[in-house]
Amino acid sequence: MTNALQVSLILPTRNEAGNIAEAIRRAHEALDGIPHEIIVVDDNSPDGTADLVRSIAADDPSVRCIQRIGRRGLASACIEGALSAAGQVVAVMDADLQHDETILPKLVQPVLSGEAELSVGTRYSGGGGTSGWSETREAQSEWATRLAMRFLKTPLSDPMSGFFAIRAETFRALIPNLSGRGFKILLDLVFASPEALTLHEEPFVFRGREKGESKLDTPTAIQYLMMLYDRVMGHIIPARFALFAIVGGLGVAVHMLALIACYQLLGMSFLAGQSVAVMSAMTFNFVLNNLLTFSDVRLKGWALLRGWVVFCLICGLGAIANVGVASYLFSETGVMWTLSALAGILVGAVWNFVMSSRFTWGQL
């Protein structure tokens, strides 16, 4: 064994001030005898995690902190950690003491020896498991796991795991192909690899959390599903656009219901009823897109109000484009009326999507 740096351990943190010192201490203990560095990637936690890590690093040069400002997300944090890693092997572990650090040597060894490119801590084989999880959380995890397994080239028993070690070169070579979105960096890596990675799995028991809280919420779950979809079908229709179009379809239903209510039941004029229906449908679409399609960049507070106004303006122009294209095709080129209408809808939908991605939610 040489003294050259072998392992770069990445600990992503968001509000882990109560755990990080202990996590670093235990990681050092577990990796004793294996030359290693510890890189904490903190997303500007308000609880002062980064300051704490810097104070530890002041006495311990094998530890450092990357503090990210204005960027969020577990997957992208791991990517930035890997980009700054100098070891031969990059290992990723949660900083909240839920991952069993005592398996670290067994986890990294197969990658160090070249026996495997990827080594994963698994809850679902050998003696692995979870402790202190609610039934709902277990069921969600199982469902997400089964879904992912259908599409995997590398046969992971626990594709949701966030505890793994990988050859640093392999990790970095895959970065340009990663989606970087959401929570599941391991899954993202495995999907990004054109060939199956040689695999070692190491069972461990996922511990309960004692301090701080989990950051897994509904938007993360939605992003997970969108990432899976994108990997499988995204080259045909991207997940965001597919969701946007489905929401648009539901908007048509909302429009018709509102029109029936105003015009037929309440006896309003058609013009008034149609106007109410248009506003209802646009507002419905805006709210649902904000919750689902753009869950990762959700607007809140005043930005929500501003976003709604911008969205309505964009859709108004989209409607004009829709009618313009449809009537041009129908009257000038003699395309069948149904096809003319569909072409108008498509142009309107793409316009609404592109413009509102850019100007309502600040994407693209």
Residues of this chain that interact with Mn ion (CB under 5 A) are 96, 98
Between CA 66 and CA 71, with CA 69 as vertex, the angle to 5 degrees is: 100
Whole-number minimum distance, CB 141 to ligand GDD, in Å? Answer: 5
Angle formed by the axes of helices 20-30 and 49-59, to 10°? 40
Tell me if 41 contacts ligand GDD by CB under 6 A. yes
Amino acid at 77: A
**Ramachandran category for residue 165: left, alpha or beta (phi over 0 → left; psi -120 to 50 → alpha):** beta
Q: Which of 6, 7, 9, 16 binds ligand GDD (CB under 6 A)?
A: 16
- 345 touches 329 (CB < 8 A): no
Closer to ligand GDD by Cβ: residue 215 or 241: 215
Give the nearer residue to ligand GDD in terms of CB position, either 123 or 255: 123
Q: Which of 6, 8, 88, 98 binds ligand GDD (CB under 6 A)?
A: 98
299 binds ligand GDD (CB under 6 A): no
> How close are the terminal C-alpha atoms of the chain, in Å?
48
With CB under 6 A as the contact rule, the residue among 95, 166, 292, 329 that binds ligand GDD is 95
Give counts: helices (H), strands (E), the chain.
12, 9
Measured CA to CA, the distance from residue 346 to residue 326 in angstroms comes to 10
What minimum distance in Å lies between the beta carbon of 98 and ligand GDD? 5
Q: In angstroms, what CA-CA distances link 338 with 26, 309, 315, 326, 345?
A: 67, 31, 22, 9, 11
Sign of the alpha-carbon torsion through 110, 115, 116, 121: negative
The answer to the question of residue 146 lying near ligand GDD (CB under 6 A) is: no
Would you call 106 helix, strand, or coil by DSSP?
Answer: helix
Beta-carbon contacts of residue 96 (< 8 Å; ≥ 6 apart): 16, 19, 23, 209, 211, 212
Q: Find where tokens 């058609």 sit.
A: 270
Determine which residue in the list 102, 214, 218, 331 makes contact with ligand GDD, applying CB under 6 A.
214
Q: What is the size of the binding site for ligand GDD (CB under 6 A)?
A: 22
Within residues 150-209, the interface with ligand GDD by CB under 6 A covers: 160-162
Question: Using CB under 6 A, which residues numbered 245 to 274 contact ligand GDD?
Answer: none
Taking the least distance from each CB to Mn ion, the nearer of 96 and 101 is 96
Ranked by CB distance to ligand GDD, the top (closest) residue is: 162
The answer to whether residue 216 forms part of the interface with ligand GDD (CB under 6 A) is: yes
Q: Which does 168 bind (CB under 5 to 8 A by kind): Mn ion, ligand GDD, none?
A: none
Q: Is residue 50 a contact residue for ligand GDD (CB under 6 A)?
A: no
Burial class (CB in 10 A: 0-12, 13-18, 19+), 347: middle
Between 31 and 148, name the residue whose CB sits nearer to ligand GDD.
148
Token pair, residue 60, equals 């311990």
Question: For ligand GDD, which is the closer residue by CB, 26 or 215?
Answer: 215
The 104-143 site mask, x for binding ligand GDD (CB under 6 A), equals -------------------------------------x--
Of 67-75, 107-115, 237-245, 313-321: span binding ligand GDD (CB under 6 A): 67-75
90 lies in the site for ligand GDD, by CB under 6 A: no
CB of 137 to ligand GDD, least distance (A): 8
Q: Cβ 148 to ligand GDD, closest distance in Å?
A: 11
Q: How far is the CB of 191 from ligand GDD (least distance, A)?
A: 15
Contact window for ligand GDD (CB under 6 A) among 88-96, 190-198, 306-314, 352-360: 88-96
The Cα–Cα gap between 146 and 9 comes to: 28
Using CA atoms, how far apart are residues 190 and 207, in angstroms rounded to an integer?
Answer: 25
Give the residue among 117, 144, 138, 291 at the shortest CA–CA distance from 227.
Answer: 144
Contacts with ligand GDD by CB under 6 A lie at 12-14, 16, 41-43, 72-74, 77, 94-96, 98, 141, 160-162, 214-216
